[in-house]
Amino acid sequence: MMFERSPAKIWRNRDVLYRLKYSYCRDCKRSFYPPRGRCIYCGSSNIEHRYSSGRGVVKEFTVVYQTPVGFTDMSPMVIGLIEMEEGFRLLAQIVDVKPEEISNGMKVEAVLRRMIVDGETGLIYYGIKFAPLIEKS
Amino acid sequence: MRSFIISSSAVKIDRYYDKNFKELAIESIKDLEKKISEPLEPEALIISSVAVEHLDRQSNMAGIIADYLGLRNIRVYRVESGEASGLAAVQIAHSLVSSKAVKKALVIGVDKLSDMPNAKIAELYSYLKDSDYIQIHGVSPLSEAALLAKIYMKTYDYSYEDLFIWPFTMHQNSLDTPHAQLRFKISPDSYKESPILAEPLRLLDSYPFGDGASALYIVSEDVAEEYDVNVSIEGLSSSNDVNDIASREDLLIFSAVRDSFIKTLKMADIELGKLKYIEIHDNYTPNAFIVLESIGLADRGKAPELLQDSMIGSAHVNLSGGLKARGNPWGATGIYQVHEIFSALLGEFKKSVLGEIEYAAAQNMSGCGDVSYSIVLKRVR
């Protein structure tokens, strides 16, 4: 079954999807993702856009078995609530680790992975998932 | 500025492989038509559907249903506001009538989840999330609700078994609800052994996929005066929150639910204690408890303890069986809720439990409280 996602849609969102561009509010000093023109907490438009280090911590996670079309071959799929070093939180897949080895507080980092395949002959879309952090010595 | 409901109806939520969207919508108004003393001649038709484009490859649904109903020279609207589309459509009708733009408005909610395989329905449900940045990760309201369940259980020290009180109560309530999709009891064993959707949530923590259609006839005061018994819309309001739960500062209160309910009570000029019957949007077990706590029926973390025989505080909750057992045909759900509280005010639904009541309310939201609507009805005569 075709997923029929637009290539242009992925391309125009590349900074947010691949570089984790987020918003920082200069007034209330809070960060949020995805970026917006106004602060989601205080409503200020005194916003600057920044790029995340890609490192964060798992706050909670779930193993999903009823996956939507486009994700069925990834089932069971782990979705994590991840708090990034910069203070914002996001929801994303956790990979390269068995679900039973994941724990809250585990350090993770962004990795580029295959997200969606548009059928057997369609485009392959890549995106950010999170894997256990490999500390560099 | 008030509007009045003089008639409503609902088809049993089920799998209607033999009926298309139009036929199911038209089926839903047959009983409504019988209950009014004049020809059905609305000046506006408002259709609520979440996914008709995807399920039926159809846009302009309101114009087409008006055509099939033989209605001409009227205003037609299709309303989509996620799972909260039903009450959003009622708000459009209420606004049109109370502003005197029209005297009579027909609202129909319809969706057919049985027309596609479950994985497709799961995909369409994920469309409630931001398609650019959230949905693309495979995130849906299901995975969000599963995360909320784990956070709720850890924060308030509940086990998974403690949550069983909600689906158990809903299945008890649906046994004598004529339009309910699931009319059977469940046991703790069947709960714990049902398939996992997103751990810890299992099949019996979620709503069944089904087809449904429900309708309301909303009219101006002078039209309503011709009827012996009628019900007024005393309050109707909405609110919204950020789309992904990750960005919320407080994960265990749905601020859109809380804010819309407060505004609605204020419009109706009543206290929460006046409401003896409330239908809430319980798409997943944890969401039911968070909604009850968000609207103030229970303190934070106390809803599972306080719920007894469908009552929490002084209010009966989800006597229909809720989304869990009555069903959740997306765009029709809010209309079913209003049909239920309207019928209860007339003494035609759950009278043995409720007796005569003056006020009742419904709360209809999308996903995990991204958008929420509330309505308060009052029996006038």
Q: Quick check: B101 pLDDT over 50? A: yes
First-to-last CA distance in chain A? 45
Three-class SS of residue A31? Answer: strand
The whole-number pLDDT of residue A1 equals 44
Q: Do the domain assignments include residue A35?
A: no
Which residues from A are below 8 Å from B208, CB to CB? none
Q: Which domain holds residue A122?
A: 7-16+53-132
Q: Which residues pair with A22 in a beta bridge?
A: A50
Question: Does pLDDT of A16 surpass 60?
Answer: yes
Residue with tokens 């004529």: B178
Instruction: Please tell me the predicted confidence (pLDDT) of residue B5.
Output: 97
| Residue A122 pLDDT level (bands cut at 50, 70, 90) | confident
pLDDT tens-place string over residues B172-187: 999 999 999 999 999 9
The residue behind tokens 């996001």 is A90
CA separation, residue B131 to residues A132, B137, B256, B337 (Å): 26, 9, 21, 29
Instruction: Give chain B's count of helices (H) and strands (E).
Output: 16, 13
Tokens of B363: 């709360």
In a mutagenesis test of the A interface, which of B130, B194, B240, B247 is the best target, namely the one with the most A β-carbons within 10 Å?
B247
The whole-number pLDDT of residue A35 equals 96
A71, pLDDT greater than 90: no
Q: What is the pLDDT of residue A135?
A: 79
Among candidates B130, B146, B249 on the partner chain, residue whose Cβ is nearest the Cβ of A62:
B146
B57 torsion bin: left (phi>0), alpha (psi -120 to 50), beta (else): left
- Spatial distance between the Cα atoms of B251 and B243, rounded to a whole number of angstroms: 12
Number of structural domains chain A divides into: 1
CB < 8 Å to A68, chain B:
119, 122-123, 125-126, 138, 140
CB-based contact B130 A91, cutoff 8 Å? no
In whole numbers, what is the pLDDT of chain B averaged over residues? Answer: 96
pLDDT of amino acid B38: 85
- Whole-number average pLDDT of chain A: 92
Distance CA B264, CA B235 (A): 5
Residue A24 belongs to a domain: no
What is the sign, positive or negative, of the torsion defined by CA atoms of A87, A92, A93, A96?
Answer: negative
CA distances from B345 to B91, B145, B179, B322 (A): 20, 32, 17, 18
What pLDDT, in 10s, does the model give residues B185-200?
Answer: 999 999 999 999 999 9
Distance CA A33, CA B242 (A): 11
Contact flag A66-B118 (C-beta cutoff 8 Å):
yes
- Establish if A59 belongs to a structural domain: yes
* pLDDT tens-digit map of B57-78: 999 999 999 999 999 999 999 9
Q: Do B132 and A81 touch (CB under 8 A)?
A: no
Q: Decide if B138 and A93 are in contact by the 8 Å CB cutoff.
A: yes
Q: Are strands B196-198 and B211-219 parallel, antiparallel or unpaired?
A: unpaired
Residue type for position B62: A
Instruction: Please list, in sequence order, all residues whose beta carbon lies within 8 angstroms of the beta carbon of residue B9, skipping any fewer than 6 positions away.
Output: B28, B29, B30, B31, B32, B35, B214, B215, B339
Residue B246: which of A65, A67, A91 has the nearest Cβ?
Answer: A91
Q: Place A4 in a pLDDT band, splitting at 50, 70 and 90.
A: low
Instruction: Quote the Cα angle for B360-B363-B368, to 5°.
Output: 160
Cis before residue B286, ω within 30 degrees of 0?
no
Res. A68 pLDDT band, cuts 50 70 90:
confident
**B131 vs B47 pLDDT, higher one:** B47
DSSP percent split of chain B into helix, strand, coil, nearest 5: 40, 20, 35
Which of A3-7, B132-136, B363-367 is the least confident region?
A3-7
Interface of B with A in 143-162 (CB under 8 A): 143-144, 146-147, 150-151
Cβ atoms B324, B169 nearer than 8 A: no
Q: How far is Cα B364 from Cα B340, in angstroms, rounded to an integer?
A: 13
Residue A91 belongs to some domain of the structure: yes
What CATH number should be reported for the domain holding residue A123? 2.40.50.840
Least confident of A15-19, A116-120, B341-345: A116-120
Asked whether residue A3 carries a pLDDT value surpassing 60, the answer given is no
Say if CB B227 and CB B264 are below 8 A apart: no
Q: What is the nearest CA distance from A48 to chain B, expressed in angstroms?
A: 17
Give ipTM to 2 decimals.
Answer: 0.95
Distance separating alpha carbons of residues B221 and B5, to the nearest angstrom? 10
Helix axes B141-156, B118-126, angle to 10 degrees: 80
Which of these, B314, B266, B312, B316, lies nearest to B293 by C-alpha position? Answer: B312
For B359, phi and psi rounded to 5 degrees? -125, 150
* Residue B227 confidence (pLDDT) above 90: no
Task: Give chain A's largest Cα–Cα span.
Answer: 48
Q: Which domains does chain B have, with CATH numbers?
A: 3-117+210-224 (3.40.47.10), 138-208+233-379 (3.40.47.10)
Summarised one tens digit per residue, pLDDT across range A75-102 is 899 999 999 999 999 999 999 999 999 9
| Beta carbons of B144 and A91 less than 8 Å apart | yes
pLDDT at B228: 79
> For residue A71, is it within any domain?
yes
pLDDT of residue A137: 67
